[in-house]
């Protein structure tokens, strides 16, 4: 409004700027009025101009603040894009046909059944995993929450060199770099549990340590992956209990077959570690004074505190075939043998210092399974595995004369085999159903005939088969 008025005043001034004598007295008065008005409006105009400048500065400041806030929010968004949250839950129902047995049933099929129980509901796994992926650096934390409590499954960092992105360092709690079945996620595996030998040799699958890995994303060696690490050897959730460290390595090769519908992978693994002996007695397999096979004792004083060797050699292979009409098929197999230190009551890798004498056994184990896809939503799976904790003895070697006392054979030395078969149905991208039945067989100890022997339940095949119905939700 002020600008329009000033324009009119200026027009009047230009007209009245003609010589004074060309105007009438009335016109002279009008000219004087215009000049006076202009003089009065000049301060007001200056004030309004100053006010407009202040408003402009305020707007400018606000816009600058918004720009800074947008940059800050953009940083938050970029950071959030690097965070991935995933997880899965596996509630299940299990059934076995025998209760009140002299040994735990289902120990390797999802956990032992409590006394007087032959069917039970449980949450087998409840995992939540957080990953912060910053291209060449990565942070991973995974928690397992089930009915018995919380457990840390993964807690590690990974750093990859930025030039070729082929070589990296991983440190913390993560999968042991051995074989195939350890790193094959429980959310993807077609069977409810890993094989008996893996549950015995590598309880918990993870370990605390550090490893170097070589995995070229492209180039002539992109079909090779190598992992080599150093670990405590006491498992994923226990503290180190000796001064020894274990070295674990795995080499995997994906053969570049030029055959449509066929792929073949294989790998080799090594484990070189030890377990500290807390006594002067070390038991190994030999011939007893009565001529029977059993454990011979070495009582040399230097055995106290000495490391007892723990060595495994393993081989794994996977064959992928596209079967016409039906769909993809997978054949997987693995073999592991070596020396395992344990006690007279278990061959499971210890998570704490054994308080009794160490028993060193030579073992062997293997598995093979076949998975056939039926269309896009169903899979049929058949799996067979064996674990022999003591390859130096057979079923006929278990005799009353070598199955008592410190040098005797116990149920720990019994060989097991498991035949499992099941059906997997994918309901959608998140939900799958698993029906799986395991026929578990122990070797029948032909030399044990007395019912008073602790080994008498193994004179025949124990009734310890397990059926599992599982529902999995994965996101």
Closest CA to 389 of 367, 369, 360: 360
Total domains in the fold of the chain: 2
Domain stops at, among 51, 72, 93: 72
pLDDT computed for residue 40 by the predictor: 52
pLDDT score of 258: 82
* pLDDT tens profile 140-186: 999 999 999 999 999 999 999 999 999 999 999 999 999 999 999 99
Instruction: Please indicate, yes or no, if residue 323 is contained in any of the structural domains.
Output: yes
Q: State residue 317's pLDDT score.
A: 98
**What tens digit of pLDDT does each residue of 332-345 get?**
999 999 999 999 99
Domain boundary among 10, 39, 72: 72
The per-residue pLDDT for 17 is 45
CA end-to-end distance (rounded Å), the chain: 64
* Within a domain: 415: yes
Q: Is residue 40 part of a domain?
A: yes
Is 114 found in the same domain as 57?
no
Residue 452 in any domain: the answer is yes
Residues 283 and 328 in one domain: yes
Residue 49 forms part of a structural domain: yes
For residue 105 the two structure tokens come to 């049933």
Q: Domain check: are 149 and 9 in the same one?
A: no
In a domain, 77, yes or no: no
Q: Where is the domain boundary, 14, 45, 72?
A: 72
Q: Are 432 and 321 within one domain? A: yes
Single pTM value for the model: 0.83
Same-domain pairing of 63 and 92: no
Q: Answer yes or no: is 78 within a domain.
A: no
Same domain, 104 and 48: no
Domain CATH for 388: 2.40.160.10
Confidence of residue 421 (pLDDT cuts 50, 70, 90): very high
Range of the domain at 46: 2-72
Same domain, 195 and 268: yes
Q: What is the pLDDT of residue 259?
A: 85
Q: Tens digit of pLDDT for each residue in 254-297?
A: 987 888 889 999 999 999 999 999 999 999 999 888 888 999 99
Residues 431 and 311 both lie in one domain: yes
- Residues 33, 164, single domain; the answer is no
Q: Tell me whether residue 117 is in a domain.
A: yes
Are 158 and 13 contained in the same domain?
A: no
Q: Average pLDDT over the chain, rounded to whole?
A: 88
Bigger pLDDT: 246 or 451?
246
pLDDT at 194 over 90: yes
* Statement to judge: residues 55 and 95 lie in one domain: no
- How far, in Å, CA of 447 to CA of 393, rounded? 12
Whether residues 48 and 110 share a domain: the answer is no
Which are the contacts of 220, defined by CB distance < 8 A and separation ≥ 6? none
Q: Structure tokens of 202?
A: 């590598």
């Amino acid at each position: 409004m002020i600008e329009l008025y000033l324009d009119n005043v200026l027009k009047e001034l230009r007209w009245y700027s003609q010589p004074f004598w060309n105007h009438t007295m009335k016109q002279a008065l009008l000219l004087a009025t215009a000049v006076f008005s202009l003089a009065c409006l000049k301060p007001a105009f200056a004030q309004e101009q100053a006010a407009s400048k202040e408003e402009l500065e305020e707007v400018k400041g606000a816009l600058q603040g918004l720009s800074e806030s947008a940059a800050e929010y953009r940083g938050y968004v970029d950071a959030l894009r690097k965070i991935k949250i995933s997880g899965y839950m596996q509630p299940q129902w299990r059934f076995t046909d025998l209760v009140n047995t002299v040994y735990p049933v289902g120990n390797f099929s999802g956990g032992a059944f409590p006394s007087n129980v032959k069917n039970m509901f449980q949450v087998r796994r409840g995992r939540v995993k957080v990953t912060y992926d910053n291209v060449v650096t990565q942070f991973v934390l995974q928690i397992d929450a089930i009915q018995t409590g919380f457990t840390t499954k993964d807690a590690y960092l990974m750093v990859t060199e930025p030039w070729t992105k082929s070589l990296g360092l991983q440190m913390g709690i993560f999968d042991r770099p051995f074989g195939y079945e350890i790193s094959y996620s429980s959310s993807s595996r077609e069977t409810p549990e890993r094989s008996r030998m893996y549950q015995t040799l590598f309880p918990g699958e993870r370990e605390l340590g550090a490893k170097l890995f070589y995995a070229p994303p492209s180039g002539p060696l992109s079909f090779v992956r190598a992992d080599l690490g150093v670990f405590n050897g006491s498992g994923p959730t226990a503290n180190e209990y000796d001064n020894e460290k274990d070295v674990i390595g795995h080499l995997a090769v994906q053969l570049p077959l030029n055959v449509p519908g066929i792929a073949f992978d294989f790998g080799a693994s090594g484990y070189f570690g030890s377990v500290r002996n807390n006594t002067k007695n070390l038991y190994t397999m030999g011939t007893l004074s009565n001529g029977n096979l059993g454990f011979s004792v070495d009582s040399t004083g230097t055995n106290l505190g000495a490391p007892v060797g723990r060595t495994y050699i393993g081989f794994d292979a996977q064959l992928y075939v596209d079967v016409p009409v039906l769909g993809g098929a997978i054949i997987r197999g693995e073999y592991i043998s070596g020396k395992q230190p344990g006690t007279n009551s278990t061959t499971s890798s210890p998570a704490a210092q054994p308080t009794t004498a160490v028993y060193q056994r030579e073992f062997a184990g293997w598995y093979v399974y076949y998975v056939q896809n039926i269309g896009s939503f169903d899979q049929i799976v058949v799996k067979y595995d064996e674990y022999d904790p003591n390859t130096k003895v057979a079923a006929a070697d278990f005799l009353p004369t070598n199955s008592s006392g410190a040098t005797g054979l116990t149920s720990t030395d019994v060989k097991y085999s498991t035949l499992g078969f099941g059906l997997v149905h994918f309901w959608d991208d998140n939900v799958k159903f698993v029906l799986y039945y395991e026929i578990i067989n122990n070797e029948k100890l032909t030399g044990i005939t007395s019912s008073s022997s602790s080994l008498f339940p193994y004179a025949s095949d124990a009734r310890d088969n397990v059926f599992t119905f599982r529902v999995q939700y994965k996101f």
